[in-house]
Structure 1
Amino acid sequence: MNWDDARIFLAIHRETTLRAAARSLKLDQATVGRRLAALEHALGAALFVRTSTGYMLTQAGKLALAPAELMERSAHDLSRRTQGMDKRLAGEIKVTTTEALALEFVIPAIERLRAKHPDVTIQLNTSTQLVNLARRDADIALRTVRPTQPGLVARRLASWEMGLFASSGYLERHGLPVEGEAFAGHDLAVYQPYMAAMRVPALAGEPVHGGRIAASVNSNLSLRAAVNAGIGIGEIPVNIGAADGLIRIWPGCSREKPYEIWLVTHQDLRQTARIRALIDEISQGFESK
């Protein structure tokens, strides 16, 4: 099995369908199917059995998995280490972050970078899903949690206080909530993943059981939009709430932990010229906030 064959094998294993594997590899489905058939013929063994839920490893496939993953790690190590010596301000950079951070910081940074170095191109993925930087799924990631995986270099770009905010229109209709009454009589806009992770759901330390969850969203950009629209009271970074013209409720109350933003890259890539240049542009955007 060579590396090209291993890529096909691993993609089918991870995606479980030929269509999804082809999409991840940027190949057409027929090509992936032919490559799998040729690989199984060369090995003299079936690597997958097709089930109602997708392609599942056979016993032979299970035996092939660890060596194929070792080939993958070696290929990515080679790619990272050689690209880390690349001094050209040209080529592609893969960036992953949330939609809110992309709009506020990454896209302006790309604009500044491209004005200076038009031969650099950016592949931007906006998602809350964490990707594997060791596998080169991304060269740069902006995350709200510091990673712990070995080989990654993390730099904290921001540590923002989180406070309660509402629009002037909302407060005209509903008035201010009373501290200690768990938002009784009030509508709330909440970030669903954060609330789901709490043992006792709360905003800025105040339990929310007395309020009504008017909007539960899965992106910070949607949360800001919901608060701006007057749908309910929400917990957002203090500097962003002020910039949006919102009114802060209970200025003395804030979330126990600040909202942190970490810029992450692999240690083998951090000195690549084009990656270093984009890191500098992104960092500049945070310094100006």
Structure 2
Amino acid sequence: MNWNAINFDWNQARSFLATAEEGSFSAAARVLARTQPTVGRQVAALEQALGVTLFERVGKSLNLTTAGAELLVHVSEMASVANRISLTATSQSQAVEGQVRITASDVVSAYQLPPILKQIRLAAPRLEIDVVAANDIRDIQRREADIAIRHVRPTQPGLIAKLVAEATAHFYAAPSYLEQVGRPRNEDELAKLGFVGFGDVDTMIGFLNPAGIEVTRKNFRIGSQSGIVSWELVRQGFGISVMSDDVAALTPGVERVLPEREPFKFPIWLATHSELQTARRIRLVFDQLANHLGSRTNY
């Protein structure tokens, strides 16, 4: 079939592309900020317009058909061209107005960004700031965000990454919890207490065990994929967890555990697309974030 001879709706094509890349309608809906039924209807409408089946439904999974795989090549090319056009247009804008999307973890977005955003608004009151609070890594090249705050160095081609700080973190808990179980005096005593899980528990165990904290899954009786929820559980006395010292300093009702222990250290990276740095509004926000995160963070 000659795909180039068929005129179809770009929104339908975006829904198809996101579904093919994410593997399900629900995941595609989260990426596109649409509802799952909307994505499903748009893919079905595209299938009807083309007269082919694009996905095979196998249980809860969606597998591309041969026709779907062929279409994916063309739609991916279209998306790449559209992204380049958008990047070029944005890079030519010198006005300090318009929207800038910043993505960071939910904890950073809720605790550390607001005071910085106040300063940015004073510097450029006509800017529109959209904070994308997400604990997964958003794709700057796909324009899911203009600037990303990350704790690992981005490696995608075409990105500019700047190390702005090395932050520190310690163990924290609510005084009420420590009064109930006793304040640990060393790492062995710490490993016998309850921990609040942030995200994947096995990942946390893989982080803590090499640091000398011999915890297992039995230590993690409660937790959340949301960093904000997990941190609130710590504050409410459900257990211990690691947290950035900057965030802990902004949180009443928590106490550092093993205060003399050497801190954990982790980098703070800013990333943006290389073409976006020539856009005045992107550059202004990037520089403001670099200055404030660097000055507010422990080294």
Asked if these proteins are the same fold (TM beyond 0.5), I'd say: yes
The residue that corresponds to 1:151 in the other structure is: 158
Q: Would you say the 8 A contact 2:192–2:215 is kept in 1?
A: no
Superposition TM-score, scaled by structure 2 size: 0.77
Cα distance in 1 for partners of 2:226, 2:257 equals: 22
Q: Does 1:229 align with 2:236?
A: yes
The residue that corresponds to 2:284 in the other structure is: 277
Q: 1:200 to 1:90 in 2, by over 3 A?
A: closer
Cα distance in 2 for partners of 1:232, 1:121 equals: 39
Cα distance in 2 for partners of 1:25, 1:169 equals: 40
Q: Would you say the 8 A contact 1:163–1:236 is kept in 2?
A: yes
Cα distance in 2 for partners of 1:157, 1:89 equals: 23
Cα distance in 2 for partners of 1:222, 1:279 equals: 28
Letter paired with 1:66 = V
190-199 or 96-105: which moved more? 190-199
Q: 1:242 to 1:121 in 2, by over 3 A?
A: closer
Q: Going by fraction, where is helix more abundant, 1 or 2?
A: 2
Which of 23, 30, 54 is 1:48 aligned to? 54
Q: 1:171 to 1:60 in 2, by over 3 A?
A: closer
Q: Would you say the 8 A contact 2:104–2:132 is kept in 1?
A: yes
The residue that corresponds to 2:82 in the other structure is: 75
Q: Does 1:24 align with 2:28?
A: no
SS at match of 2:110: helix
Q: Would you say the 8 A contact 1:96–1:127 is kept in 2?
A: yes
Provide Cα deviations, 1:135-175, integer angstroms capped at 9, x if missing partner: 11111111222111111111223322222223333333322
Cα distance in 2 for partners of 1:124, 1:187 equals: 33
The residue that corresponds to 2:120 in the other structure is: 113
Corresponding pairs, count: 283
Letter paired with 1:48 = L
Q: Give, in angstroms, the shift of residue 102 of structure 1.
A: 1.1
Cα distance in 1 for partners of 2:191, 2:76 equals: 54
50-59 or 184-193: which moved more? 50-59
Provide Cα deviations, 1:238-267, integer angstroms capped at 9, x if missing partner: 344345464333334346x51322211111
Question: In the TM superposition, what are the counterparts of 1:130-141 in structure 2 within 5 Å?
Answer: 130-141=137-148
Letter paired with 1:147 = P
Cα distance in 1 for partners of 2:83, 2:54 equals: 25
Superposition TM-score, scaled by structure 1 size: 0.79
Cα distance in 1 for partners of 2:219, 2:206 equals: 18
Which of 5, 12, 15 is 1:11 aligned to? 15
Provide Cα deviations, 1:204-252, integer angstroms capped at 9, x if missing partner: 5321249743432334333432332232222222344345464333334
Q: 1:282 to 1:49 in 2, by over 3 A?
A: closer
The residue that corresponds to 1:86 in the other structure is: 93
Q: Give, in angstroms, the shift of residue 184 of structure 1.
A: 5.9
Cα distance in 2 for partners of 1:283, 1:59 equals: 47
Q: Would you say the 8 A contact 1:183–1:211 is kept in 2?
A: no
Cα distance in 1 for partners of 2:217, 2:33 equals: 49
Structure 1: gaps (5+ residues) = none
Q: CA RMSD in A?
A: 3.6
27-36 or 268-277: which moved more? 27-36
Q: Would you say the 8 A contact 1:214–1:231 is kept in 2?
A: no
Question: In the TM superposition, what are the counterparts of 1:122-271 in structure 2 within 5 Å?
Answer: 122-183=129-190, 186-193=193-200, 195-196=202-203, 198-199=205-206, 201-202=208-209, 205-209=212-216, 212-244=219-251, 246-254=254-262, 258-271=265-278
Q: 1:118 to 1:261 in 2, by over 3 A?
A: same
Q: 1:243 to 1:138 in 2, by over 3 A?
A: closer
Report percent identity of matched pairs: 23
Q: 1:188 to 1:259 in 2, by over 3 A?
A: same
Cα distance in 1 for partners of 2:232, 2:26 equals: 39
Q: 1:101 to 1:270 in 2, by over 3 A?
A: same
SS at match of 2:275: coil
Cα distance in 1 for partners of 2:173, 2:208 equals: 19
Structure 2: gaps (5+ residues) = none
SS at match of 2:200: helix
148-157 or 227-236: which moved more? 227-236
